[in-house]
Structure 1
Amino acid sequence: MNLHNPATDLPAANSLPTLAPAEAPGTPAQLAFREAVQQVEGLRQRLRDLQVEQGEARRRYWQQVGPGARAVVEARRALFAPLENALLLPYFSRAEERQITEFILGNARALHNRFGEDTAEIVLKYAPRRQATVETEDATADEKPAAFVPDLNSDLPPHEQAAAHARARRKTKAQKTQEIAAKAAKEEQQKLLSNTKTLYRQLARTHHPDLERDPETQAHKTVLMQRITEAYEANDLYTLLQLLSESGPAASADDDVLARYTQALQQQQIELKQQLNELKYGDTGFSGSTGKKREIELRELKRHLRAEAEYLEHIFRLIQEPVGLREVLRELSAAGHDTV
Structure 2
Amino acid sequence: MNNTSILHIKEQKTGLNKRQKEFNLLLQNIEELNRLIPELESAYEEMLQRIPTDLNPLIREYQGFRAEIVHLMDRTYTNDLFRNAYQTKLAYLITESAFDLIVNYGFEDLKPVYNKYSDIDIETAIQLQQEQFKITDPAFLLESENKTEVPEEDEFHQLPEEEQQKIKAEQRADRIAAQIRAAKLHAEQQKTSKTVRAVYMDLVKSFHPDLETDDTEKVRRTDIMQQITQAYQENNLLKLLKLQIELERTDQDKLENLTKNQLNYYNKMLKQQVEELEAEKEAVQKKIAAVCGLPYQHANSRTTVIVKFNTNVNELKTEIKNIKIVLKNWKVPSQLKAYLKTYQIPNEKFPDDDDEL
TM-score (norm 1): 0.44
TM-score (norm 2): 0.42
